[in-house]
Amino acid sequence: MNKDVLKRRKLPKESALYPKMSDGVCSAIRGIIKEAIDSGNNKIFIRTNLKRGLPLENINKVAGPFVEAWALEKFEEISDKVGNKYGLVNVEAGKRLDAFDMVLQFKLKDVEDYVSANVDSKATAEDILTSGKSPNITSFARIRNEYLDDPDYIFLVLSLKHKVFSEKADGNGITNGIMQVTAYHVYDIKYVSAKDLNYNQALGTGQMQIRDIHYVDEERKTAEQFIKMIDDKYIRSNGLIEELKKLPDRSVDLICTDPPYNLGKDYGNNIDWKQWHEYEQFTLDWLTESKRVLKNTGSIYVFMGVKFIPRLFLMLQELDFHFNGWITWHYTQGMGRTKGFSPRHEDILYFTKSGDYTFNLDDVRIPQKYFRERNNMKGANPGDVWEFSHVHYSNPERVDHPTQKPEALMKRIISASSNKGDIVLDPFVGSGTTCVVANFLDRKWIGFDINPEYIKMSENRIKKELNMLDSFDPREARTPKDLKKDNGQVKLIFRLK
């Protein structure tokens, strides 16, 4: 057996002093940062020769490295004081490719040896909603191997919140930019709760991410328990692609899915916030597998937000899918805006794998608006602008999922692009609506999700009998205008419906 396999099998056992060392170092760091803030030594100035100074937006863009450098300097100032009350004896800046920004060495009470802590400092803007959401911390393989090699390895995250503002300099009329550290939080990455730590597979061996760098819950864990936790996240995060790979070629008739839009939404055990190139690669990976499993007569419908849908459209074309429609789902309720128009729609891209595809128009017709001899009075094509209400939070059918889609909307897609007995796939099953409606329409279905709670939620919904859809297209209730009432046309129309 080679050494690599032995290394993977070794069970790390840290010393009994590890909790005391970790807690002692965190307490000292808190004290140093608190002292700097309380004494007013928490500002960084950008001095210019500009009367108006720099725009605050631009100051925010460069604040991160400055704030992190500020922290290093504060630690160096303390370590230069021999016998300081924090026991900080040495500070070293991290090298370019290190996982951390600095190494702090302490002499703690009741601990015989010096204690070294590797600290990764992260600056977050207090007035930017997405700041500090799911940043990459260190690679999965690196942190795992560090704990295998040394179970007493200490890796800390130091979160520093800051605000930026401008201030006139005395006497010369020049405006300076100011970055001010306002809050802090330091914690051992090994103690971060399972719900707050995620795995991002996009880069190399993958990156460990923290859902919100400044706000985490802590759970005491041993090095062995921590490694088991991140191993489990590694396995689950690779689950979608791996599960898709298990499906045979050309085995699915319809793919209908609502993937995360990369807007920072909280999906229970993960937040969908990736760098642009990471999200793009993630999308390409699952689309590539989706094309492989889709039958030549199959279709794919993908919901997407406005920021990424142009790139998604091009990706589907680059994968040689056939464009067949850009559907606008219009709804009457949504987020309000005071500057700009409130968003009231989502987009659905409709592509097929070939020019020979299933489309059952008669199954999705709606009543004609007017009676005309030339019109097909079985009903009209519903077009590519659909009105379905959201599943409102007060709706008794609403479940605990942030992006639940209406059943009637899914019914239209599944009815149009599949037949009874066909297989419908949803790689991002979420609240389970696709599978619920597919089951109701006598289709077979497959659903995947990274969150086991959503899988349970979907299974429970499928078990319940579906008697009434949670929404409808208001056009389905209309009666064609200009009907002649003396020749039985009304009865004919409703009989054909």
pLDDT digits (tens, 9 = 90+) for 377-422: 678 899 999 998 877 666 667 776 777 788 899 999 999 999 999 9
Q: Alpha helix locations (H) across 262-388? A: 276-293, 309-318
pLDDT at 375: 65
pLDDT digits (tens, 9 = 90+) for 56-78: 888 888 888 999 999 999 999 99
pLDDT at 489: 43
Which string of DSSP letters, residue by residue, matches 35-52?
HHHHTT--EEEE--S-SS
The fold of 3-236 is ECO RV Endonuclease; Chain A (3.40.600)
| Torsion angles phi and psi, residue 9, rounded to 5 | -90, -15
Mean pLDDT, residues 86-102: 89
pLDDT at 8: 39
Residues of the chain above pLDDT 70, percent: 85
Q: CA 471 to CA 343: how far, in whole Å?
A: 20
Bigger pLDDT: 59 or 216?
216
pLDDT digits (tens, 9 = 90+) for 264-317: 766 665 666 666 777 888 899 899 999 999 999 999 999 998 889 999 999 999
pLDDT at 108: 93
Query: Considering the domain 239-477, what is its CATH architecture?
Result: 3-Layer(aba) Sandwich (3.40)
In the block, tokens 């500090």 appear at 132
pLDDT at 487: 47
pLDDT at 140: 76
Whether 490 shows a pLDDT value over 50: the answer reads no
pLDDT level of residue 247 (50, 70, 90 thresholds): very high
Mean pLDDT, residues 418-427: 95
Q: Which helix (H) or strand (E) holds 140?
A: helix 140-149
| Torsion angles phi and psi, residue 4, rounded to 5 | -65, -40
Sort residue 385 into left (φ over 0), alpha (ψ -120 to 50) or beta.
beta
Mean pLDDT, residues 125-154: 84
Give Cβ neighbours of residue 290 (< 8 Å, ≥ 6 apart): 244, 255, 300, 425, 427
Best mean pLDDT range from 16-30, 335-349, 376-390: 16-30
pLDDT at 394: 62
Distances (CA, A) of 218 to 23, 36, 188, 191: 12, 25, 9, 5
Bigger pLDDT: 427 or 377?
427
pLDDT level of residue 432 (50, 70, 90 thresholds): confident
Whether 430 shows a pLDDT value over 70: the answer reads yes
pLDDT digits (tens, 9 = 90+) for 293-307: 999 999 999 999 888
Q: For the chain, what are the domain ranges?
A: 3-236, 239-477
Q: CA 51 to CA 54: how far, in whole Å?
A: 9
Write out 270-306 in H/E/C secondary structure. CECCCCHHHHHHHHHHHHHHHHHHEEEEEEEEEEECC
Distances (CA, A) of 295 to 177, 313, 348, 374, 455: 59, 20, 20, 36, 25
Q: What is the mean pLDDT of the chain?
A: 84
Bigger pLDDT: 238 or 328?
328
Beta carbons of 206 and 137 less than 8 angstroms apart:
no
Among 134-143, 271-280, 308-317, 327-336, the minimum mean pLDDT is found in 271-280
What pTM was computed for the model? 0.58
Whether 6 shows a pLDDT value over 70: the answer reads no
pLDDT digits (tens, 9 = 90+) for 115-133: 999 999 999 998 887 888 8
Whether 202 shows a pLDDT value over 60: the answer reads no
pLDDT at 2: 35
Whether 7 shows a pLDDT value over 60: the answer reads no
